Amino acid sequence: MDASNKESALNVNASSIKISDVSQDGDMLTFAITSQNLSGSGGVCVFRTYEDFIWLQQSLFSQEDVPELQGVIFPPLPDKPLPSHSHTQAKVLKQLGFLSLGDKWQIYCKALELYLQQVAAHTLLSKNKELYNFLSSSESPGKQRSKKGIFNRLSQVMEEMRKEGHKDVDEFFQSERDKTTNLSVLFKVATEKFLEVVLTKQKLALACGHFSTSLHLCVNQENADAVAFSKICLKLSDIIETMKRNFEKVSDNDMSTLGLGLELESRYQEAKREMLFRRTCRLVELDNANKNVDRAKPNKKAHMEEVQKATQKEFNLISSVAKQEIVHYHRTRVQVLRDFLIDWCEKQLSTAQESSTLFSQYLEACKGLAV
Amino acid sequence: MAEEREPPPLGDVGQADFVEVEDGEDLFVSTVTTIEQLSPTTPEPSCLPAEDISTNSNGPKQEILLDDDQEDLFAEATEEVSLDSPEREPILSDGPSPAITPVTPTVIITPRAEASMFDRSLDEDEDTEENGDTFDMQITVSDPEKVGDGMNAYMAYKVTTKTSLNLFSRNEFSVKRRFSDFLGLHSKLASKYMHIGYIVPPAPEKSIVGMTKVKVGKEDLSSAEFVEKRRSALQRYLTRTVTHPALLKDPDVIQFLENTELPRAVSTQALSGAGILRMVNKAAEAVNKMTIKMNESDAWFEEKQQQFENLDIQLRKLHASVESLVCHRKELSVNTASFAKSAAMLGNSEDHTALSRALSQLAEVEEKIDQLHQEQAYADFYLFSELLGDYVRLIAAVKGVFDQRMKTWSKWQDAQLLLQRKREAETKLQYANKPDKLQQAKDEIKEWETKVQQGERDFEQISKNIRQEVGRFELIKYWEAFLPEAKAIA
C-alpha cells in the first residue's frame, strides 16, 4: 500500500499542476486544480477551498516520522484570500499585497499554483501521501487538525526574541542567518514600494478616464465654431483614453510579473528564516542537553548522555538537510527572480511599443486636423 | 494733430474723435475710413472678423448717433459732452484711435467690410480669414528676481515690450514690475470698462501661501514652480490685455508698459481696507444678482448666456480632471523614486552577483523613469491646467459683464418707474393747482426723463459692447485652445 502510494505521489508531474479556475461564492473561493501524471496518461481535476490548503500545509508540517522535516524550507502558503469589500479594502491590501490585486484573483491563483508546484517538486515533501490525496481525491480532505494558529504565533515571537541572538556553531549558518534577516526586510520594503507605484499608476489610469469622459462631454455640435473645438476635444479624449488603457496594461504587467516575483521572494525569505529559526531552536536544545550532561548527577548521567546523543544526531541531520535546502534555494530563487524580471521587461517593452505606435498615429492625425 | 497722437485720458478721447469727425466732410466716409483703419490693429487672424463685426454693428448705429448729436458735438457744451463722452468713446474707439493710423502699413479689408457691413457673419469670417494682419506687439514677462528681504520681499518681473505701433515712444523697452502692479492695473481697467460691457481679462490670483514661501526664501521645487507659474500667467494676462483694442489704447496700460516708476498700488493688498471693501462689494453684488429678475427680450443674449454657463461648467470639470491628473503624476514620480532607492539597497546587499547587478540596473532604470514622469507632469501642468484655469476665470469675467448689463437694465427700469411716479405726481399737482410745486415737479420729471433716456442708452450700449466682446472672445479662445494641445501631443 505504502509503496504504491509512494509511487503515485511521485507520479504527479509537478509542473503540470495548474489552477485552471476560481469561483467566488459570497466570501468563499473555490479553486479548480488540474494535474497530470508523470507519464502524461491521465489528468485529474479537483476543487479545493483555502481551508483545504491550510489542511495540506499542516499535514506537511506534522509528519512525525520524518525528523529532517525541520530542516526543510517549506514553500510559503499565501495568506487567506479575503474578498475585498470597500471597507476592508485597505486591510486586505496590507495583508495580501500584490495578491489581492488583479482581475478575479488571477495573481492569487498564480501564487497558489506556484505553491503547489513547489511542494510537489520538493524531494521530501512530495513523498507525503496527503499531497496525493489533495491533488486527486474528489472528496474534500479532512478538517483542520487544530487551531494552534494564534497562540503558536505569540509564543513563537517571544521565543524568537530570546533565541535569535544565539550564536551558531557553524560559520555557514551564522552568516546565512544574518543575511536572511537583512535581506528579508529589504525585500519586504521593495515589495511594498513597488506596490505603491502600481497603485499610483492605477489611480492615474482612473484620473485619465475621468478626464477623457469630461472631454467627451464638451462636444457641442450646435454652433459652427464649436464644431472645430469639439473635434479637438474628441481627439484629445481618444488620446487620453489610450493613455488610460496604457496605464492599466502597464500596471497589470507590473503586478503579474515583478510584483508577484518580489512578493514570492519575500515570503520565501520568511520561510527560510523560519527554517533557520527552527534549527536554532534545536541548537539551543542541544546546548542545553550538553550542559545537562555536564551538570548531571551520576545516576542521571547515562540518560542525559542518551538525550544528548539523540539531540546531536537530530541536529546534525537537520543541519545537513538545511544546508542542502539553502543551497538549492539559492539556486532556484535566482532563477525564479530572473524569470520574473525577464518576463516583466518583455511585457513592458511590448506594451510600450504598442502604445508608441498608437500615439504616433494620433500625432499624425492631430497634425492633419485642420482648424 | 499732436493731441491725437498722445493717448488721451478718458474724458478727452471723445473730443479727439470729435476733432476727426469735424474734419471729415462726409460722415459716412469718415466712418468707412475708421473701419478700414480698424483692421491693422487686430492681433490675430481670429480677431479680424470680430473687428468686422464691431464695425458691422457699429456702422449703422455709429452714424445714427453721430447724426443725432451733431449739434452737440460742435457746441462747446461741456455738460452734454462730458455726459456723452464716456459713451461716445467706446463707440469710436472701436475704430482705432487716429493715433494708430499713420503707422499701420497693412491690408485694408474694404471689400469684405462693405459687403458684410450689415450682417453679423462671425463664422464664415473665421474660417476663411487666414493671416491678413500685422498686430505688431509682443510682450514677454521674464527674469523673476527677488527684491528685498524677509516679509517685505517681493518678486520683480521684467516686462519687455517689442512693438512697432506708434502708440509707444520706443520700439523695444522693458520695465520692472511687481505682482501688485499687475493687480493695480487690472482693478483700474475693471473699474473703467466693466460697467460699459467690455470683458477685461482677469489678472492671476493672489496666493498668500505661495508668496510667503518665496518671501521666506525656501529654495525648493514648489516655490520655483510657483514663481514660474506666476510668470507665465502674468505674460498671458498682459498679452490678452493688449490684444483688446480698446484696452491697448488705455493710458493706464501704456503707462504700465512704458514708465519705469509706477505709483505703488496699495489697494491690492489682500488684507487691506480696500481688499475688505472689495469682498463686501462682491457679497452685495451676489445678493443683488439673485434679486434682479430680468426680462430677457433679446434672444441672442439668452442663448449666449446659456452657452457660457455650459462652457463654464465644462471647463471647470476639465480643469478639475487635469488637476487631479497632474497630482497623480507627481505622486507617481515620488513613488517611483522610492522604489528605485529600495531596489538599489537590495542590489547592494544581494550576494549573487548577477542578481545584484540586475537589481542595481533596475534601480537606475526606475530613476530614469521617475525623471521622465516628472517632466511629463510639468508639461501637463503648464499647458493644460493653467490654460484651463485661465479660461475659467475669463468666463467669470464674461459673466461679470453680463451681470453688469442686468444691473444697467434694472437701473433703467427703476428710472422709468420713478419717472412714471413723477408724472403721476405732476398730474395730481396739476389738479391740486399748486403752481410752484408744479414747476418743481416738472423739473424733476425732466431730470428723470433724461435719466431714463440715459439708462436706456447705457443699456443699449452695454448690450452692443457685450455682443462684440463675446464675438472676439470666442474666436480667440478656440485658437488658443488648439495651439497648446497640438504642442502637447507633439
Domain ranges of chain A: 1-157, 165-371
**A252 touches A350 (CB < 8 A):** no
In this structure, of A241-245, B63-67, B456-460, the range with the lowest mean pLDDT score is: B63-67
Closest listed residue to residue B469, CA positions, set B43, B37, B94, B59:
B94
pLDDT at B361 over 70: yes
Q: Which residues contact A25 (CB under 8 A, 6 or more apart)?
A: none
Residue-level pLDDT at A260: 81
CATH of A165-371, one of 3.40.190.10, 3.10.20.30, 3.40.630.40, 1.20.1270.60: 1.20.1270.60
In this structure, of A140-149, B179-188, B299-308, the range with the lowest mean pLDDT score is: A140-149
B490 part of contact set with chain A, CB < 8 Å: yes
pTM: 0.64
Mean pLDDT across the stretch A154-177? Answer: 71
pLDDT at A34 over 50: yes
Closest listed residue to residue B470, CA positions, set B302, B316, B234:
B302
Query: What residue of B is the nearest CA neighbor of A239?
Result: B489
Mean pLDDT across the stretch A142-162? Answer: 58
pLDDT per residue over B406-442, tens digit each? 776 677 777 777 777 777 777 777 777 666 666 676 7
pLDDT at A326 over 80: yes
Q: How far apart are CA B317 and CA A210, in angstroms?
A: 9
pLDDT per residue over A249-266, tens digit each? 887 887 778 878 888 888
Which residue(s) pair with A21 in the sheet?
A: A32
Q: How far apart are CA A209 and CA B328, in angstroms?
A: 13
Residue-level pLDDT at A23: 76
Other C-beta atoms closer than 10 Å to the C-beta of B298 total 12
Closest listed residue to residue B254, CA positions, set B170, B190, B141:
B170
Higher pLDDT pick, A336 / B285: A336
User: For residue A226, what pLDDT band results from cuts at 50, 70 and 90?
Assistant: low
Please judge whether B123 and A371 are an interchain contact, meaning their C-beta atoms are less than 8 angstroms apart: no
Which chain A residues touch B336 with a CB distance below 8 Å?
Answer: 197
Mean pLDDT across the stretch B325-354? Answer: 78
pLDDT at A214 over 50: yes
User: For residue A140, what pLDDT band results from cuts at 50, 70 and 90?
Assistant: low
**B51 touches B106 (CB < 8 A):** no
User: For residue B94, what pLDDT band results from cuts at 50, 70 and 90?
Assistant: very low
Q: How far is B351 from chain A (nearest CA, A)?
A: 9
Q: How far apart are CA B35 and CA B54, in angstroms?
A: 9
Q: Tell me which fold the domain A1-157 belongs to.
A: PX Domain (3.30.1520)
Residue-level pLDDT at A49: 80
Domains of chain B and CATH, by start: 135-265 (3.30.1520.10)
The overall average pLDDT reported for chain A is 75
Higher pLDDT pick, A332 / B39: A332
C-alpha dist (Å) from residue B440 to A100, B415, B435, B446 = 88, 18, 9, 10
**B251 touches B168 (CB < 8 A):** no
Pairing state between β B154-163 and B137-147: antiparallel
Residue-level pLDDT at A11: 62
3-state secondary structure of B205: coil
Residue-level pLDDT at B468: 66
In this structure, of A166-175, A177-186, B162-171, B375-384, the range with the lowest mean pLDDT score is: B375-384
B290 part of contact set with chain A, CB < 8 Å: no
pLDDT at A327 over 80: yes
CB pairs under 8 A between A and B: 102
Please judge whether B123 and A224 are an interchain contact, meaning their C-beta atoms are less than 8 angstroms apart: yes
pLDDT at B150 over 50: yes
Q: How far apart are CA A283 and CA B260, in angstroms?
A: 86
pLDDT at A302 over 50: yes
B130, B329, B331: best to mutate for the A interface, most A CBs within 10 A = B331
Highest mean pLDDT among A326-330, B100-104, B130-134, B322-326: A326-330
Of the candidates A182, A189, A210, the beta carbon closest to that of B321 is on: A210
Q: Which three cell numbers stand for residue B18?
A: 470729435
pLDDT at B459 over 60: yes
Which residue(s) pair with B174 in the sheet?
A: B160
Please judge whether A190 and B490 are an interchain contact, meaning their C-beta atoms are less than 8 angstroms apart: no
pLDDT at A3 over 50: no
Of the candidates B126, B332, B479, the beta carbon closest to that of A200 is on: B332
pLDDT per residue over B363-401, tens digit each? 777 777 777 766 766 666 566 667 777 777 777 777 776
User: For residue B107, what pLDDT band results from cuts at 50, 70 and 90?
Assistant: very low
Establish whether domains A1-157 and A165-371 are of one fold.
Answer: no
Mean pLDDT across the stretch A63-85? Answer: 70
Predicted complex ipTM exceeds 0.95: no
User: For residue A89, what pLDDT band results from cuts at 50, 70 and 90?
Assistant: low
B344 part of contact set with chain A, CB < 8 Å: no
pLDDT at A227 over 70: no
Closest listed residue to residue B455, CA positions, set B429, B482, B486, B417:
B417
Q: How far apart are CA B137 and CA A264, in angstroms?
A: 64
Which chain A residues touch B475 with a CB distance below 8 Å?
Answer: 225
Q: Which residues contact B78 (CB under 8 A, 6 or more apart)?
A: none
The amino acid that residue B471 corresponds to is G
Q: How far apart are CA B337 and CA B341, in angstroms?
A: 6
Please judge whether B324 and A330 are an interchain contact, meaning their C-beta atoms are less than 8 angstroms apart: no
Highest mean pLDDT among A151-165, A211-225, B91-105, B416-430: B416-430
Of the candidates A193, A232, A330, the beta carbon closest to that of B481 is on: A232
pLDDT per residue over B178-218, tens digit each? 777 777 777 777 777 666 656 666 666 666 666 666 666 55
Residue-level pLDDT at B106: 32
The overall average pLDDT reported for chain B is 60
